[in-house]
Amino acid sequence: DQQVKQNSPSLSVQEGRISILNCDYTNSMFDYFLWYKKYPAEGPTFLISISSIKDKNEDGRFTVFLNKSAKHLSLHIVPSQPGDSAVYFCAASAVGGADGLTFGKGTHLIIQP
Amino acid sequence: EAQVTQNPRYLITVTGKKLTVTCSQNMNHEYMSWYRQDPGLGLRQIYYSMNVEVTDKGDVPEGYKVSRKEKRNFPLILESPSPNQTSLYFCASSAGTGGTRPQHFGDGTRLSIL
């Protein structure tokens, strides 16, 4: 049973426009959500996170929105730049969870010039 | 520089030949874990460790062993590798569990088991 779902394997966006990456989850015990970015031949790197007590967190061009009632979060990148082309993983951790993060399958974002 | 170092980065070997992938972190992190990444499946946790001498199974532990004798090192051991363990492996560390302490990942080890 997949607890964190990223239903779009890939997304193509024109440079300068907004990129919106989506993530759904099923476990209501998740209390923290993170986005990681991964380039080929490198490990994932932390991008931005949000606590379940918030509905929005912003860091420069990156904003994460959380809709707890819908069990949905999204990552907005504005404006999109060529260096944003990467695989983005949504991840979640549970209240009191000792076993770390549960990851989605990832979305490959391609920024078109 | 804060980092998680994995070795080797690439390895091609044969079924049944024991191998170890080393992982070392220089951030004095208590929490370490191993993931494997497979096409269409994302990152799945193999084992994790909350501190020295404390390890536990993740989602896909079958065929793997780990040890945590020192805080900085967390090797992944495949006693008798099989082709279905061909994958991209990542080691990660963090100051603690939970999302408030994001995990730092190594650059990965690509294993091919023939």
pLDDT in tens, B45-77: 999 998 999 999 998 999 999 999 999 999 999
Residue A69 in tokens: 């009632």
pLDDT score recorded for residue B99: 67
Residue A69 DSSP SS3: coil
Q: Smallest Cα–Cα separation from A19: which of A56, A64, A54?
A: A64
pLDDT score recorded for residue B82: 96
Is a pLDDT exceeding 70 seen at residue B92? yes
Is a pLDDT exceeding 80 seen at residue A100? no
CB atoms within 10 A of CB B9: 13
Is a pLDDT exceeding 90 seen at residue B98? no
Report the C-alpha gap between B13 and B59 in whole angstroms. Answer: 25
Contact A104 B42 (CB under 8 A): yes
User: Please, are residues A66 and A33 in contact by the beta-carbon 8 Å criterion?
Assistant: yes
User: Please, are residues B100 and A97 in contact by the beta-carbon 8 Å criterion?
Assistant: no
Is a pLDDT exceeding 90 seen at residue A63? yes
User: Please, are residues A57 and A50 in contact by the beta-carbon 8 Å criterion?
Assistant: yes
pLDDT score recorded for residue B48: 93
Those of residues 10-49 in B touching chain A at CB distance below 8 A are: 31, 33, 35, 40-45, 48
Mean pLDDT of the B23-30 span: 95
pLDDT in tens, A68-82: 999 999 999 999 999
SS (HEC) of chain B: CCCEEEECCEEEECCCCCEEEEEEECCCCCEEEEEEEECCCEEEEEEEEEECCEEEECCCCCCCEECCCCCCECCEEECCCCHHHCEEEEEEEECCCCCCCCCEECCCEEEEEC
pLDDT score recorded for residue A95: 65
pLDDT score recorded for residue B101: 79
pLDDT score recorded for residue A81: 97
A23 touches chain B (CB under 8 A): no
A40 touches chain B (CB under 8 A): no
Mean pLDDT of the A47-70 span: 95
